[in-house]
Amino acid sequence: MKPHSERSTRLVWIRCGSRVSKQNKIKQPMTDQALNTTSTAPNVRDYVELMKPRIMMLVVFTAAAGLVAAPGGLHPFTTFAVLLAVALGSGAAGAINMWFDADIDAIMTRTSVRPIPAGRVQPGDALALGIFMSIISVTVMTIATNWVAGAMLAFSIFFYAVIYTMWLKRSTPQNIVIGGAAGAFPPVIGWAAVTGAMPLEAWALFLITFVWTPPHFWALSLVANKDYEKAGVPMMPVVRGAKTTRHQIFAYTLLMLVVSALPVLFGTGGLIYAVVTGVSGVVFLYLAYQVLLSRAGDLDMTGDDRKIAMRLFLFSILYLALLFGALILEHMTGLHAMLPTFGIWAGV
């Protein structure tokens, strides 16, 4: 009789548990010599890749939403400095992440072509770049705005580079749930840059990205679970099984729809935001339901199951962009002030 796919996944994880513990619990950073077997001269593109530019763009975009939604305003030059500091901070965290994760990146097919495992950038150079950019970003933010924004930026870099990368990622299947906070801080940083404070309205924007992260990333991990299993990374599909992960994706999607309405209740988001959130939320829920009913992540996963999971992953990126884009549109064009809001909690 063919064993159940989810049970088989757990058994595979248990069998390789000792190897994972030995490989990941006590992690030794990769030396320059350990990876530089077929090294080539690095170019600017390799160093840009170290900074994870796609994540950087999303981080800057959500920080901009917090910046424009906050009461008051900044001089255009100060605004540029804030966004530059956020971009540098994101890039710094990405470079340190790639330095520390070079060993597992070399194992996984999806990440084996990154600059360090591919031998194009030395690990020590990536670490030096990350530390240097961290110092520059926090210094620029603090001088341009205030110590609250600077401290929050420093903490967000530390959270991603140390708490998530060096601890959570290799120790718990809840790594993405808790680690998602790192990518959720930018709107709070942007708000603090303008006001020097972090009110509930700013944390409502934080919660959107925080709760969005699990269904976004787990949709991808359902497709890439073999890579994570091979590298010994305890992602949810590897440890708890694909079926549990699909249920978790749907549950977090429901929670995300509720959290996404908070800016409307606080008055931060107006009618445009409410409509965008409602329509895109229905699509997100439908795609998550399709994943729930699929076999995505199972041993007998089909090509169609893979496409269903990837559709949710790709749309989730668009979803977040639409929500924060609606906020930016409303506040930059003055439409937020002109259109009715539903801020029953405004000023709380």
Each residue's pLDDT tens digit, 128-186 = 999 999 999 999 999 999 999 999 999 999 999 999 999 999 999 999 999 999 999 99
Nearest CA to 121 among 44, 54, 29?
A: 44
Q: How many CB atoms lie within 10 A of CB 116?
A: 30
Can you read off the two tokens belonging to residue 7?
A: 């049970």
Give the homologous superfamily in CATH for domain 44-198.
UbiA prenyltransferase (1.10.357.140)
Do 93 and 182 contact (CB within 8 A), yes or no? Answer: yes
pLDDT (0 to 100) of residue 261: 95
Nearest CA to 309 among 322, 295, 299, 323?
A: 295
pLDDT (0 to 100) of residue 343: 59
Percent over 70 (pLDDT), the chain: 85
Element (H, E) at 308: helix 303-333
Domains of the chain: which residue ranges? Answer: 44-198, 203-340
Nearest CA to 104 among 112, 92, 95?
A: 112
pTM of the full predicted structure?
0.85
Q: Is the dihedral of CA 222, 215, 275, 194 positive or negative?
A: negative
Please give the DSSP secondary-structure letter assigned to residue 3: P
As beta bridge partners, residue 166 has none
Can you read off the two tokens belonging to residue 107?
A: 């194992």
| Alpha carbon distance 62, 237 (integer Å) | 28
Can you read off the two tokens belonging to residue 148?
A: 């609250």
| Alpha carbon distance 85, 79 (integer Å) | 10
Amino acid at 28: Q
Contacts of 45 (CB under 8 A, 6+ apart): none
pLDDT (0 to 100) of residue 110: 86
pLDDT at 338 over 80: no
Each residue's pLDDT tens digit, 238-258 = 999 999 999 999 999 999 999
Do 70 and 195 contact (CB within 8 A), yes or no? Answer: yes
